[in-house]
Amino acid sequence: MITPASAPATIRIRLFASYAERLGAELIEVPAEGIRTVADVLERLRSLPNGTVVGPATLVAVNLRHSPAGTAVRPGDEVAVMPPLAGG
C-alpha cells in the first residue's frame, strides 16, 4: 500500500469480541508516532476509555501473523487484538 506523503502515518487496530464491545469499535486507527512494537499498541489501547480490559494474555496478530509483544509494528500495519480464548 502506498501512502501519499501528506497523509498521516497510522496503524489500524482491529478489535474482536469483548474488546470491541468494551472499547466501542471494531476498528481504530491511531497515529503511528511513538508506536514501535506490539507492546506499544497494547499500551495505547489501555490508555483509552475502558482500555483496562486489555489484559496481559491478549492475543495479537500483525498483518495476519501471530505476534508476541516485542514484534515490530510499522505505519500502515494492521494489528488484530483478541481476548484470550477459552474452551475445551
Examine residue 5 and state whether it is found in any structural domain, yes or no: no
Examine residue 70 and state whether it is found in any structural domain, yes or no: yes
Note the pTM of the prediction, 2 decimals: 0.87
The residue segments making up the domain with residue 67 are: 10-82
> pLDDT digit string (tens) for 5-25?
556 699 999 999 999 999 999
**Structural domains counted in the chain:** 1
Burial bucket for residue 49 (CB in 10 Å: 0-12, 13-18, 19+): exposed
> pLDDT digit string (tens) for 23-62?
999 999 999 999 999 999 999 999 999 999 999 999 999 9
Contact 45, 12 (CB under 8 A): no
Examine residue 71 and state whether it is found in any structural domain, yes or no: yes
Q: What CATH number is associated with residue 64?
A: 3.10.20.30
